[in-house]
Amino acid sequence: MSSAFLSSEEYDERAHQMYNEGNFDQALATLREGLALYPNAVELHIGVGYARLARDEFAWARRSFEEALVLEPEHEDGLAGLGETLLKFGQADAAKKTFALIRALGYDDDIELMLQVGRALFRDNEMDEALEYFEVAVRQAPDNAEAVALIGYAQHRLGRDDDAVETLRRALKIDADFAEARIYLGNLLYDRGDYDSALYQLDRTEPDDHWDELGIWRLLELRKSHLRIAEGDPSFEPWETRLAELSPAADVTEELLLDLETRFNEEDERAAREQLELFGSLLGGLTGDLTANASHCVAFGDGRSYDGTWDEIVQQLHAESSSAETRSLLEFMQSEARRGFALTGMLIPTVDAESFLRGSADAGLLRIVH
């Protein structure tokens, strides 16, 4: 059958399938073809909005959602999409009002819609509001393990770790195979120093359950320290294979750029040393002051603290990590930055030690004492 005879609903269904497969470009092309025939089809405008949103084309996404809402002002999916887009523009208050309208229209019983709104708020670090929508979903579906777990994630981000642990355990009672919740719980217990419980949770996962290195490194560490499994034991092989998949080696281009950057840095350092030697007598006092001010101190919530220059502090953290012998200092910072993003949703720079530590402090993972 020629596409000219497709209904607007069929265009929407085709595009929706493409969207779910990650083919956002094809989905957008299909939706635009449909709109050429059915310019007043609300669902097609909304579909374009979500396809644009997936492609980070926020201005175009907002326009599509607004066009849909002109045609149908109380369309719940259009309101949800517009709210997500407003968050992208930093208009949190306007987004919250848009989301509130969905509830005012009586859509509390739409579990997926409540979770969609909650996730959008969660990603934007609007934790109190995200928790509210997750709780609405759980009131409607108390046996929905995903919704219960989302409450636990939000509680953790709000600093309510005791509640988070209890909630995540409740989610696992509902669905013992919910690996995402089990891994999150394992990492949370590890951060609290409850290593036996952390091992219990992480040891009940499979390598393919993990999409981040952190849980795997911790499981291997705990198996060695608590179960006395020796390094090189065959049981580690599937986990090490998964680690390699999650941390692919840099390609030739990346290695070339890194080499060039290193050379330029070495040339800059050499030129700087020559200048310091030339004006050493004049700068002696100044460099003495700089050296005196170069010492810093960072503290963690579990009582650990580290002193030294920014580089020395990161070197100490790296040396104490379970992967010190297998990962470079840069790889260590990149791994910790990914862990920090998974826990807090905040990006942590890894260009140098100072940026890494200050970014970690901004994310609430440590405190810079001085």
Judge whether 153 lies within some domain. Answer: no
Q: Is the pLDDT of residue 285 over 70?
A: no
321-367 pLDDT, tens per residue?
Answer: 766 666 788 878 877 877 777 677 677 888 788 888 988 888 888 88
Count of alpha carbons within 13 angstroms of residue 256, beta-carbon side = 3
Identify whether residues 71 and 90 lie together within a single domain.
yes
Query: What is the Cα Rg of the chain in Å?
Result: 26
- C-beta of residue 147 within 8 angstroms of C-beta of residue 138: yes
Whether 149 maps to a domain, the answer reads: no
Q: Flag whether 156 is in a domain.
A: no
Long-range contacts of 224-227 (CB under 8 A, 24+ apart): 225/195, 226/195, 226/196, 226/199, 227/199
User: How many Å apart are CA 168 and CA 185, to the nearest integer?
Assistant: 6
The reply to whether 289 and 315 lie within a common domain is no
Q: Is 187 part of any domain?
A: no
The verdict on residue 364 lying in a domain is yes
Q: How confident is the model at residue 1 (pLDDT cuts 50, 70, 90)?
A: very low
Task: Tell which of 293, 328, 346 closes a domain.
Answer: 293
Query: Do residues 61 and 49 lie in contact, with contact meaning Cβ atoms separated by under 8 Å?
Result: yes
pLDDT at 289: 46
Q: Could you say which of 63, 92, 107 is where a domain stops?
A: 107
Provide the Cα torsion 180, 183, 186, 192; round to 10°.
-80
Q: pLDDT digit string (tens) for 300-316?
A: 877 788 988 989 998 88
Residue 311 lies in a domain: yes
- Residue 330 lies inside a defined structural domain of this protein: yes
Range of the domain at 268: 249-293
Same domain, 43 and 100: yes
pTM of the model: 0.68
**Cα–Cα distance for residue pair 149/143, rounded to 1 Å:** 11
The single residue listed with the structure tokens 């960072």 is: 298
Tens digits of residue pLDDT in 177-225: 999 999 999 999 999 999 999 999 999 999 999 998 999 999 999 999 9
Residues 253 and 347 in one domain: no
| CATH number of residue 30's parent domain | 1.25.40.10
Whether residue 121 is contained in a domain is answered as no
Residue 204: its pLDDT value, please? 97
Domain boundary among 107, 142, 165: 107
The sheet carrying 367-368 orders its strands as: 305-308, 296-299, 367-368
- The fraction of the chain above a pLDDT of 90, given in percent, is 61
Burial class of 360 by CB neighbour count within 10 A (0 to 12, 13 to 18, 19+): buried
Same domain, 317 and 361: yes
Q: Are residues 325 and 285 located together in one domain of the fold? A: no
Domain count, the chain: 3
Predicted confidence band of residue 290 (pLDDT cuts 50, 70, 90): very low
List the structure tokens of 45: 């405008």
